[in-house]
Structures are given as structure tokens and as C-alpha cells.
Amino acid sequence: MTTPLVEMRNMSISFGGIKAVDDVSVDLHPGEVVGLLGHNGAGKSTLIKMLSGAYGPDAGEIYINGERATITNPRDARSYNIETIYQTLALADNLDAASNLFLGRELVTPLGLVNDSAMEAETRKIMARLNPNFQKFNAPVSALSGGQRQSVAIARAVYFNARILIMDEPTAALGPQETQMVAELIKKLKADGIGIFLIDHDVHAVLDLCDRASVMKNGKLVGTVNTKDVTDDDLLSMIILGKNPNDAAA
């Protein structure tokens, strides 16, 4: 097998004595979508925030392309081309779409000043591909609908040539049509060779979009399965009972 794009080995982190993530290992290959499933509070988002640099782990190692990576803050993660779409979207509500898209990576003029019109032009270009209905380029994102805000967050992750994409419940706030749009985007990015961690509640969506699924319960990894080999009932029993179907078979 090829070198994994991402390998997280024996990751642990505690908050005030509670082990939010306890000795969890997952990996991700180029062009692969790995689903992370589990109840609320199972530790999915926390696990992934150690990869995106929002939390520093208590224990565990991260390897990117087989090399040990030190990720202590979001800037480190970005330097490894890891992009994240957070559940909360992480948008500055008082700024417009272009300012959010380029936040932390602004385009500047030769004088070093922020080049708003160039950023707006780039934003118009990428939005024309992602969400052609998007028109509110000069409004603060607080004035946008849930779906429009989501497309700003997605555009931000996609624009900067991510190699590793983390999507934390990307369709939580979306209607059916927009959900379909995200599904197609995931397929397209996968075809481009990008590795995607997809955190979701919806077992069917995970079976549909993901190559493998890792299930977590109470901070521990229940198991990782190939989605081809399991039914939605298998996944549900992993989530609810914490039972690994491979163990039962053995």
C-alpha cells in the first residue's frame, strides 16, 4: 500500500480530567474519503482539531506523507496544505465574503496594502463555480443565508489548493439541493487526489461518499471499516453499541 497522506497515531487529549480522545489512530490516503462517525461528544471533532491545529495533543504523533509533522497551531496546519471547514464555519460575521475567504492570506498590492478589488474578483470567480447564485459580495457574511455562508467556508478551503481537507458536518445547515452540491464537490475533489476527512451524523451519506469509515465512542476508536463491506445497520451498531463487526466475525 502507498504511504498514507495523513497518519494520526495514538492520539490522546484530555480536558479537565476527561479523556476527550483516548489513544485513537486513523489514516487517510490521497484521493480517499474517510468518514468519522459517532455520537455527539464521541470525540470526532476534537480528534480532527488536533490535525487542524486548533488543539495541541497530550500524546500521539502525526505523520504527513510518512514524515513526522509538528502541528501546534492553525498556521502550521496550513503550511502542510491542511484546510478545514469547521462545523461553526469559523467566519468573521462583520466582514464580507472576500475578506473571509482570504483571511490570514490576503492578496496585497506591491505596496503591501490589502488588495480588496483583486480579492473580490477572485471570490467572484470561485463562487461562479461553487455557487452561481451567490451575489452578495459586498455584504457582511452575517447578512447571508446558511447555504451562502457554507459556500464561503467551502470556497475558503478549496481555493488554496488543499491536499488534505477536513469537513466537520459540512451539510448540517443545508437544504437538500445544497447538500447534493456538497456531495458532488466531494466527489470532484476526491477525483483530484485530495484526501478528505468527513465528519457526519448521517450514516447513509457516509456510506454513499466515503471509502472507509472510522467510528468513535466515548473518546475511543471502535474500529475502521471499508464502507463496501458493511451495511448501515453494522455502522449503527458500531455507533450505538460500540461493537466492531470485524471482532464479531473473528
Partner 1 sequence: MTDATSQPIPQQRKNIFQLLELDTRLLGMVGAFIILCIGFNLFTDGRFLTPRNVFNLTIQTVSVAIMACGMVFVIVTRHIDLSVGALLATCSAIMAMTQTAFLPDVLGMELGNPMIAPIAIVVGIVAGTAIGAFHGWMIGYLTIPAFIVTLGGLLVWRNVGWFLTRGQTIGPLDTNFQIFGGTNGTLGPTMSWILGVIAALAAIAGIWNARRAKSAHGFPVKPVWAELTLSGISAAVILGFIATLNAYQIPQGRLRRMFEASGETMPEGYSIGYGLPVSVLLLIVIAVSMTIVARRTRFGRYIFATGGNPDAAELSGVNTRMLTVKIFALMGALCAISAVVASARLTNHTNDIGTLDELRVIAAAVIGGTALAGGMGTIHGAILGALIMQSLQSGMAMVGVDAPYQNIVVGIVLVLAVFIDIVYRKRTGDA
Position 72 contacts partner 1 (CB under 8 A) = no
Q: How far apart (Å, rounded) are the C-alpha atoms in residues 76 and 186?
A: 24
- Min dist CB 67 to partner 1, Å, is 21
Residue type at position 218: N
Matching residue, cell 486513523: 26
Spatial neighbors of 130 by CB under 8 A, at least 6 apart, are: 151, 154, 155, 158, 181, 185
Which 3 state secondary structure label does DSSP give 204?
A: helix
- Closer to partner 1 by Cβ: residue 153 or 213: 153
Nearest to 144 by CA among 94, 207, 218, 74: 94
Member of 18, 59, 103, 236 binding partner 1 (CB under 8 A): 103
- Of 104-112, 175-183, 197-205, 234-242, the segment contacting partner 1 by CB under 8 A is 104-112
Spatial neighbors of 25 by CB under 8 A, at least 6 apart, are: 7, 8, 9, 10, 11, 221
Q: Tell me which DSSP letter residue 137 carries.
A: S
Position 54 contacts partner 1 (CB under 8 A) = yes
Site string for partner 1, 109-128 (x = CB under 8 A): ---xxx-xxx-xx--xx-xx
- Min dist CB 148 to partner 1, Å, is 15
- Min dist CB 75 to partner 1, Å, is 4
150 neighbors 178 (Cβ within 8 angstroms): yes
- Closer to partner 1 by Cβ: residue 129 or 187: 129
Position 173 contacts partner 1 (CB under 8 A) = no
Position 74 contacts partner 1 (CB under 8 A) = yes
Position 52 contacts partner 1 (CB under 8 A) = yes
Q: How far apart (Å, rounded) are the C-alpha atoms in residues 151 and 162?
A: 16
How many residues in total does the chain contain? Answer: 250
The size of the interface with partner 1 (CB under 8 A), counted in residues, is: 41
- Closer to partner 1 by Cβ: residue 101 or 206: 101
Binding site for partner 1 (CB under 8 A): 52, 54, 73-75, 78, 84, 86, 88-95, 99-100, 103-106, 108, 112-114, 116-118, 120-121, 124-125, 127-129, 132, 135, 140, 142-143
